Amino acid sequence: MSNDRDFLTLASIPASEWPALWRNAIALKAERAAGQRHHALDGKTVALVFEKASTRTRVSFEVGVYELGGHAVVLSSQGSQIARGEPIEDTARVLAGYCNAIMIRTFGQDRVEALAQWANVPVINGLSDLHHPCQLAADLMTVIERFGALDGLRYTWIGDGNNMANSWIEAAGLFGLDLTLACPDGYRPDQTILAEATARCAASGRGRITVTNDVAAASRGADVLSTDVWASMGQEAEAQQRQTAFAGYCIDDAMLAAAAPRAIVLHCLPAHRGEEIMGSVLDGAQSAAWQQAENRLHAQKAILQWQFAK
């Protein structure tokens, strides 16, 4: 089945359509502040399926669906038949019978894809082990708000080669970004995503992606410094060993001082102050993390409007 309005990774929306989507997200933000109401989801219901914990994704989607005139139904794996082993293919067909779209946060990207394959309504990836495209939609919107455009900036990722790093790499390929990722050996990003994005940069002649373990070189002169937790959801048992592996990968005041004077710092949150980022940086003047978190709401409303555009 599947649906041509699925949003499974950033590339689900053509690169050429993203600038209009971000313009719409910024307009939605201003219109919300002015008290304007929207109706793209009038009479529509969106299922929000969580197989992992969430604060931002859960609340921003529930509020966003409401603000577009729709209704959200939140389903956790615990307390539903998902945790008792009902196949995702069956869940997909049943939810698609009730709901006009489905967002899922889960483990393997294969579960997102199976849901999309078996549901004949638009599916949104609200985070998998491999990708976090909704977060990148908000992160790049934040960069546009702060710098006016995505071009001409040096982007640096510090830390784990995780779902967020993979989505940054996908973004670099799609939008021709100059991206350097500093990751410890053994914690590098997905090789397939890296190869595809690198090929895209080569084909378009725009963008460059470098993976290194030289943290100082990666962060020097950066305009956008991003990081994330060292142990993602599902990796809790590795937390101790990761603390050792990631020593030296903390965004602290010295690292920020070596970045560009105009640099902003992004963190998708939740953060572990004193591990991947110092509190003085996250709560400091160059942090854009709170704007970034708020932008989840506006960017996702624009994605929902894209999915339901006539």
Q: Which residues are catalytic?
A: 105, 132, 135, 228, 268, 296
Q: What would the two tokens of residue 125 be?
A: 């990836």
d(CA 48, CA 76): 8
One-letter amino acid of 77: S
Region near ligand NVA per CB under 6 A, out of 61-69, 103-111, 147-155, 225-233: 225-233
Cβ count near 226 (within 10 Å): 28
Among ligand NVA, ligand CP, none, what does residue 55 contact (CB within 5–8 Å per kind)?
ligand CP
135 contributes a contact to ligand CP by CB under 6 A? yes
The nearest distance, CB 292 to ligand CP, in angstroms, is 9
Task: Report CA torsion sign: 271, 275, 280, 282.
Answer: negative
CB 194 within 8 A of CB 33: no
The nearest distance, CB 210 to ligand CP, in angstroms, is 25
268 contributes a contact to ligand NVA by CB under 6 A? yes
Owner of token pair 């003047």? 285
Pick one of 127, 201, 277, 299: the residue that binds ligand CP (CB under 6 A): 127
Q: How many Å separate Cα 37 from the centre of its chain?
A: 26
d(CA 90, CA 82): 10
d(CA 226, CA 142): 12
Pick one of 106, 198, 232, 300: the residue that binds ligand NVA (CB under 6 A): 232
Site string for ligand NVA, 111-130 (x = CB under 6 A): ----------------x---
Largest Cα–Cα distance of the chain, in whole Å? 54
d(CA 269, CA 164): 11
The nearest distance, CB 303 to ligand CP, in angstroms, is 14
The nearest distance, CB 234 to ligand NVA, in angstroms, is 7
- Torsion, Cα 123 125 130 134, to 10 degrees, reads 140
228 contributes a contact to ligand NVA by CB under 6 A? yes
- Which residue's C-beta sits nearest to ligand NVA? 232
74 contributes a contact to ligand CP by CB under 6 A? no
Q: How many Å separate Cα 310 from the centre of its chain?
A: 26
229 contributes a contact to ligand NVA by CB under 6 A? yes
Site string for ligand CP, 46-65 (x = CB under 6 A): --------xxxx--------
Burial class of 191 by CB neighbour count within 10 A (0 to 12, 13 to 18, 19+): exposed
- Torsion, Cα 124 125 127 131, to 10 degrees, reads -140
164 contributes a contact to ligand NVA by CB under 6 A? yes
Site string for ligand CP, 262-291 (x = CB under 6 A): ------xx----------------------
Cβ count near 173 (within 10 Å): 27
- Which residue's C-beta sits nearest to ligand CP? 57
Q: Which is nearer to ligand NVA, 107 or 147 (CB)?
A: 107
36 contributes a contact to ligand CP by CB under 6 A? no
Which H or E run contains 288?
none
Region near ligand NVA per CB under 6 A, out of 97-105, 162-170, 240-248, 249-257: 162-170
Number of residues that bind ligand CP (CB under 6 A): 8
d(CA 163, CA 207): 20
Which residues in this chain contact ligand CP in the complex, by CB under 6 A? 54-57, 127, 135, 268-269
Which residues in this chain contact ligand NVA in the complex, by CB under 6 A? 127, 162-164, 228-229, 232-233, 268
